[in-house]
Structure 1
Amino acid sequence: MRLFVITLFFFVYLISTAQNTYLHCGKLIDVEQKKVQTEMTVVISENMIKTVVKGYQNPSSNADHVIDLKNKTVLPGLIDMHVHLESEQSASTYLNRFTMNEADIAFETAKNAKTTLLAGFTTVRDLGGTGVNTALRNAIDKGVAEGPRIYSCGKAIGTTGGHADPSNGIKKDLAENPGPLQGVINGPDEARAAVRQRYKNGADVIKITATGGVLSVAKNGQNPQFTLEEIKAICETAKDYDMHVAAHAHGDEGMQRAILGGVKTIEHGTLMSEKTMGLMIEYDVFYVPTITAGKEVSDKAKIKGFYPEIIVPKAAEIGPKIQGTFQTAYKKGVPIAFGTDAGVFPHGLNGKEFAYMTEAGMPPIETIICATSTNAKLLKNDKIGVLKAGKLADIIAVEDDPTKNIKTMEKVVFVMKDGKVYKNE
């Protein structure tokens, strides 16, 4: 009994003397109240926010320490709903699939993840790779690699010859005949099999390519590529496994099928009509615009040899239109989430999306809400996206007040994820 009392006393002593971190924040973005607070203190215990109080609160123990962010603006860790950590577009991208082994991809992916974290994105949704993206998620969760919290789709699902068919553009004697295991389906039965395979492989979310795409080695970048029945089979099966479905889509018909079929997000949405916007509002489907990627492919299409010739006209046509579509969708009242398609452009530049959204008419504070609390709700994670007691200590800081200078979001100077500081300039 005496030993038990001594042990209990020692345990209580350890808890009472546990080190807390005090962030003295000159400004703090309250995404729930949609306002900027001044002279605030965020107290962190281990990996959780203990309290957020007005004024610069002093530590209560010698074991505590203070991080001075009095001349910075503090925000929740950012969430990007559309990245591709396994790759970064270059003139050699289409050759890499013949020269890179899985281990080579893994090292590149780890580098891209660390870059993304240091840019202030503490959580991402990875919407397509080989499966290395899922393995990296596990490694980060175990603490053996550094990067953002990852929600992975593993390998995206497409149809034969569609945007996610990995055999596109390969000579016949090298091309396989991919099926549900590789993410290529034809018909509702194979659609269900592909979803279950993704679940077996450890996916958190399902990604489909509802229309043609810009960067696939195929002629059409906007035609519908799934039947409504196939999409319904995917969405119904994903729901059984508690996963939502994201739909890559440029063409309008493919978007409408995806919405009616039950997807939760439309990615890119370039040629979206007002009718489709109305459907998105009606069905509570979120638009992930990826304006930065649109601008990138448009610019790179002007460089001879950067893309295969079959891609150039698609990039020139589709890329410049995304920002205008976003502007119309925002005015119409379409639900909007923040996502960039990083990997189409260099990782770490995800913050450029904020300025592009603002240019198109969305107030700066709303772009920040899209990238924090809105995305957290879409991911069904109530521990991220806001700065308040009981939430995970995912916290970043920038030099200026982004509600007055949105481009400050392109240079994050402080990054904390799960209570650990990864960057402090």
Structure 2
Amino acid sequence: MKKLMLIALLVSFFGSSAQETLLHCGKIIDTKNGKVLNSKTIVVSGKKIIRVEDGFTNPKAADKVIDLKNKTVMPGLIDMHVHIEGETNPNRYLEAFTLNDADVAFNAAEIAERTLMAGFTTVRDLGGSGVNVALRNAIAKGKIVGPRIFTAEKALGTTGGHADPSNGQKKELMGDPGPKEGVVNGVADAYKAVRQRYKNGADWIKITATGGVLSVAKNGQNPQFTEEEVAAVVQAAKDYGMKVAAHAHGIEGMQRAIRAGVATIEHGSLMDKETAALMKQYGTYLVPTISAGKYVAEKAKIDGYYPAIIVPKALEIGSKIQNMYAMAYKEGVKIAFGTDAGVFPHGENGKEFRYMAEAGMPAMATLQSATITNASILDMENELGQLAAGFIADIVAVNEDPTQKIETMENVVFVMKEGVVYKN
């Protein structure tokens, strides 16, 4: 009995003296139930949320209090489509020849911090040079500041396709890139390319199922993988514990990817109702990237900003994404939040919320798409996307209630990631 009493005293003593961080929140977004709740205290210990309490809890002597009583607080945001290694500029196409991996890495480190300061505590990087893997690891080890990264490493394309790294180069430089470089021609190549991405450290696989707007190639919407090739990519990825994202603008390439079992369709610019119905049938998510579409359509009007071959594609396809998204949402397609940051300036990811709301999605639903929806796609639904006991303490705040004024999402004023405050 005396031993039990001593243990109880020790637990009581150390439990009461352990520091907790109390966030006094004027409002919080209950993403699970789609509600705005008033006057709550979020209690954080270490990297986790311990509990959420009604009212403003009085702190113990050792506790730290963060006053967010005039803010709206929500889970850390998740962007499912970024390119964190670089950023749009008129010289972007020359950078492949002028920047070393070290240059890319230092640029990416700055971009990562900017992304976190915008409230995005988790991102999915859908294709770069491979620096994104090292960046993910450095952030995870606390060596640099940035969001949690899930990366596809190098995107997969076909010869001459959207992700062929030699497009636009002179013939002496083009060579004949293959699966190691992320170029697929046939089922065997598909398996080898996926396995190479796994070997290189990828978390996801990305394919370019159709042409793209910003590749130095004429067609921005033609199908570029056979359905058998996509199915092989999906099966190989499944074998190695990964899912597949498919860049797609045109209908045929989109439909092949959906039938083959990809998890997400990126952009979906020219989707019709038949394709929307197919997405519903297969449970495929749409990541619309409205921000990117608007940006490229705008910049294509500036002489010399993009190579001439890109301009007609940017003008034709970019402006259609928001209307397509409105149709897809109305038809009941599942929507995941993603921006394609890098195609436009990183840190402006929050504009996507406004564009989604303009197209008819309720403000609360846009917030859920960037939290619980994306957490589920990443298989992190029990760790990310909610303000609840046991979840990772990724917490952000804005000045106003976004369900009343969605533009406030463009100015995140408080950022906590894994219990550490990075912006206040």
Shared fold (TM-score greater than 0.5)?
yes
The one-letter code matched in structure 1 to 2:224 is: Q
The one-letter code matched in structure 1 to 2:28 is: L
Cα drift, residue 241 of structure 1: 1.1
Change (3 A) 1:103 1:9: farther
Cα drift, residue 175 of structure 1: 1.9
Match in the other structure for 2:332: 333
Alignment partners' CA distance in 2, 1:364 and 1:10:
48
Any idea what SS the aligned residue of 2:276 has? helix
- Would you identify which runs of 4 or more consecutive aligned residues in structure 1 move more than 3 Å? 6-16
Match in the other structure for 1:384: 384
Match in the other structure for 2:354: 355
Cα drift, residue 173 of structure 1: 1.2
Any idea what SS the aligned residue of 1:207 has? strand
Match in the other structure for 1:414: 414
Which consecutive unaligned segments of at least 5 residues does structure 2 have?
1-5
- TM superposition score normalised by structure 2: 0.97
Q: Count the aligned residue pairs.
A: 419
Change (3 A) 1:14 1:99: farther
What are the Cα deviations for residues 132-187 of structure 1, in whole angstroms up to 9, with x where unaligned?
A: 01110000011101100000000000000000000000001122311111100100
The one-letter code matched in structure 2 to 1:355 is: R
Cα drift, residue 354 of structure 1: 0.3
Alignment partners' CA distance in 1, 2:303 and 2:371:
38
Match in the other structure for 2:396: 396
Alignment partners' CA distance in 1, 2:292 and 2:237:
27
Alignment partners' CA distance in 1, 2:423 and 2:298:
31
Match in the other structure for 1:64: 63
Change (3 A) 1:12 1:222: same
- Matched ranges for 1:139-150 at <5 A: 139-150=138-149
Cα drift, residue 17 of structure 1: 2.1
Which consecutive unaligned segments of at least 5 residues does structure 1 have?
1-5
Any idea what SS the aligned residue of 2:73 has? strand
Match in the other structure for 2:204: 205
What are the Cα deviations for residues 342-363 of structure 1, in whole angstroms up to 9, with x where unaligned?
A: 0000000000000000000000
Alignment partners' CA distance in 1, 2:234 and 2:202:
14
Match in the other structure for 1:34: 34
What are the Cα deviations for residues 364-390 of structure 1, in whole angstroms up to 9, with x where unaligned?
A: 000000000000000001200000000
Any idea what SS the aligned residue of 1:321 has? helix
Match in the other structure for 1:241: 240
What are the Cα deviations for residues 254-280 of structure 1, in whole angstroms up to 9, with x where unaligned?
A: 000000111000000001111110110
In the alignment, is residue 159 of structure 1 matched against residue 158 of structure 2?
yes
The one-letter code matched in structure 2 to 1:126 is: D
The one-letter code matched in structure 2 to 1:216 is: S
Alignment partners' CA distance in 2, 1:271 and 1:380:
29
What are the Cα deviations for residues 105-145 of structure 1, in whole angstroms up to 9, with x where unaligned?
A: 00000111100000000000000100001110000011101
Alignment partners' CA distance in 2, 1:97 and 1:11:
58
Any idea what SS the aligned residue of 1:94 has? coil
Alignment partners' CA distance in 2, 1:163 and 1:204:
21
Counting aligned pairs with the same residue, the percent is 64
Any idea what SS the aligned residue of 1:184 has? coil
When the two chains are superposed, the root-mean-square deviation of aligned CA atoms in Å is 1.5
Match in the other structure for 2:310: 311
Alignment partners' CA distance in 2, 1:15 and 1:330:
48
- Matched ranges for 1:211-222 at <5 A: 211-222=210-221
The one-letter code matched in structure 2 to 1:289 is: P
The one-letter code matched in structure 1 to 2:346 is: H
- Matched ranges for 1:245-260 at <5 A: 245-260=244-259
What are the Cα deviations for residues 200-249 of structure 1, in whole angstroms up to 9, with x where unaligned?
A: 11100000000000000000000000000000000001011111100000
What are the Cα deviations for residues 302-334 of structure 1, in whole angstroms up to 9, with x where unaligned?
A: 000000000000000001000000000000000
Match in the other structure for 1:96: 95
Change (3 A) 1:102 1:404: same
- Matched ranges for 1:42-121 at <5 A: 42-59=42-59, 61-121=60-120
The one-letter code matched in structure 2 to 1:30 is: D
Cα drift, residue 336 of structure 1: 0.5
Match in the other structure for 1:3: none
Match in the other structure for 1:128: 127
